[in-house]
Amino acid sequence: MGNLCTCFSPKTPVKTKKPTKRLQGNPQTAPNSSNRWTRIRSTRKEFKDNHDELIREQALAAAIMFRQLQQQNGSASGSFPFDRSVSLRYPNGSGSKKTQLPRSSSSRARSLTDPLLQPHQLVNQDIKLDDLETNHFVLVHGGGFGAWCWYKTIALLEEGGFKVTAVDLTGSGIHSSDTNGITSLSQYVKPLTDFLDKLADGDKTILVGHDFGGACISYAMELFPHKVSKAIFVAAAMLTNGQSTLDMFSQKAGSSDLMQQAQLFVYANGNNHPPTAINLDKSLFRDLLFNQSPGKDVALASVSIRPIPFAPVLEKLSLSELKYGTVRRFYIQTPEDNAIPITLQESMINSSPPEKVFHLKGADHSPFFSKPQALHKLLVEISKIPST
């Protein structure tokens, strides 16, 4: 085929190379003489020689200066102390420049919606923690999760000087109880309510609830409203009086069946009795809970998530305006959420409007993994909102 194409291709005229004539006579009078190349080479050699000479002079000057410094410091033996640091240091109050923190060596591109914050950016310098109503965050995980899921948030808050408590609800995380034995919401939330009960009078906290943890902090707010300064719902079930978490999820029916596909019911008491717990299909983990999260965090979750107790999900909350209603509520939306879609989040917000709603751009259902820096920034921002 190639030969056929060659046969029918137009012939290209062959250019003949003209013989080069050498000029005779004095080479200085020839305009194309190679003498100019001789001059260039000579100029380059002179430049190199001058450059080498300059380097030698600089080295000699440096050696003389070094020797003078040795003599000024009284070190005849030549053991002048040498500072091996190549970074500039500006003592406090003696320099106009700020010390630059080292940049990350990671080659992974930073997300514009979750910028890397340096430690000095975690809390504004003009705000003192003592000026806040409370600097104590209590983090409450969602169904199946544990205190482990907050590890990034805990580190960031503590670096900013905040006090942080992350609880393992009954049958979650490292709590030793069997999930199948949990029969009520009060039993499930007991580690949280026990913690709040032991707080000294006058001590207040900022409760942060994720997922089913939203129903859990609501339950605690009804019992201990005087010990809760603010409540932050992060992609969480924010229920109304007489509503259960199952009621909330039923609003989602027909919009997406991913959650239904992922649910695996456990019948520890036999198939003739109601389910005792809910497992999640790990093959659907990423799509359902971690569609924007790093793989290492998905791997952590896959070996850490435990079954969700079924009875607490069925229980309807009893919330009053005199107790639950007195606590300031804030909601953080996660627009890329496949577990509690943004439409369902907006439905809960409209049914029981909080004081303020924040939008965490690019976050999936687990923003403590997918957007830890941005989530941290919002938590700190909410902590600073003064009383009205």
Residue 95 lies in a domain: no
Least confident of 45-49, 56-60, 85-89, 310-314: 85-89
- Confidence class for position 64, pLDDT limits 50, 70, 90: low
pLDDT digits (tens, 9 = 90+) for 2-37: 433 333 344 444 444 444 444 444 444 444 545 555
**Highest-pLDDT range among 17-21, 121-125, 238-242:** 238-242
CATH value at residue 148: 3.40.50.1820
Q: Which of 114, 168, 297, 337 is catalytic?
A: 337
In the residue annotation, 297 being an active-site residue is answered as no
DSSP at 98: P
Q: Quick one: pLDDT at residue 170?
A: 97
pLDDT score, position 107: 40
Q: Identify the pLDDT of residue 159.
A: 94
pLDDT tens for each residue of 129-143: 777 888 999 999 999
Give a yes or no: residue 12 inside a domain: no
Q: What integer pLDDT is reported at residue 54 of this predicted model? A: 62
The reply to whether 299 falls in a domain is yes
Residue 90: its pLDDT value, please?
A: 28
Question: Model pTM greater than 0.85?
Answer: no
Question: DSSP character for 101?
Answer: P
CA angle 172, 282, 340 (to 5 degrees): 70
pLDDT in tens, 275-296: 999 999 989 989 999 999 999 9
User: What's the structural domain count of the chain?
Assistant: 1
**Minimum mean pLDDT range among 54-63, 294-303, 326-335:** 54-63
**Rounded Cα gap, residues 68 and 62, in angstroms:** 10
What's the confidence (pLDDT) of residue 194? 97
Q: What is the pLDDT of residue 251?
A: 72
Beta bridge partner(s), residue 208: 139, 232
pLDDT in tens, 69-119: 555 555 444 443 333 333 322 233 333 344 444 433 334 444 545 555 554
pLDDT digits (tens, 9 = 90+) for 167-198: 999 999 999 899 999 999 999 999 999 999 99
User: Tokens in use for 191?
Assistant: 């580690």
- Is residue 196 in a domain? yes
State the greatest distance between any 2 C-alpha atoms of the chain, in Å, as a whole number. 116
Nearest to 331 by CA among 216, 210, 195: 210
CB 143, CB 249: distance < 8 Å: no
Cβ(380)–Cβ(160) under 8 Å?
yes
- Sorted by sequence, the CB contacts under 8 Å of residue 336 that are 6+ apart come out as 291, 292, 362, 363, 364, 370
Q: Which of 114, 168, 211, 297 is catalytic?
A: 211
Give the C-alpha distances (Å, rounded to integers) separating 54 from 51, 63, 70, 98. 5, 14, 24, 36
Domain annotation covers residue 225:
yes
Under 8 Å between Cβ of 364 and 338: yes
Q: What are phi and psi of 56, to 5 degrees?
A: -60, -40
User: What confidence tens digit (pLDDT) does each residue in 335-386 have?
Assistant: 999 999 999 999 999 999 999 999 999 999 999 999 999 999 999 999 999 8
Query: Element (H or E) spanning 94, and its range?
Result: none
Question: Rounded distance, CA 189 to CA 197, Å?
Answer: 12
Beta partners for residue 231, in sequence order: 207, 329
Active-site residue, from 136, 141, 365, 376: 365
Indicate whether 98 belongs to any domain: no
Q: Is the pLDDT of residue 45 over 60?
A: no
User: Looking at the DSSP assignment, which residues form a beta bridge with residue 166?
Assistant: 139
In total, the chain counts a number of residues equal to 388
Compute and round to an integer the Cα radius of gyration of the chain.
35
Residue 337 known to be catalytic:
yes
> What pLDDT shows up at residue 28?
46
- Count the Cβ atoms, other than its own, within 10 Å of residue 346: 13
Secondary structure of 257-310 in the HEC alphabet? CHHHHHEEEECCCCCCCCCCEEEECHHHHHHHHCCCCCHHHHHHHHHHCCCEEH
User: What's the domain range around 374?
Assistant: 132-249+258-384
Q: Is residue 318 part of a domain?
A: yes
**Residue 292 in contact with residue 362, Cβ under 8 Å?**
yes
Instruction: Report if residue 119 sits inside a domain.
Output: no
Q: How confident is the model at residue 200 (pLDDT cuts 50, 70, 90)?
A: very high
Task: State yes or no: is 114 an active-site residue.
Answer: no
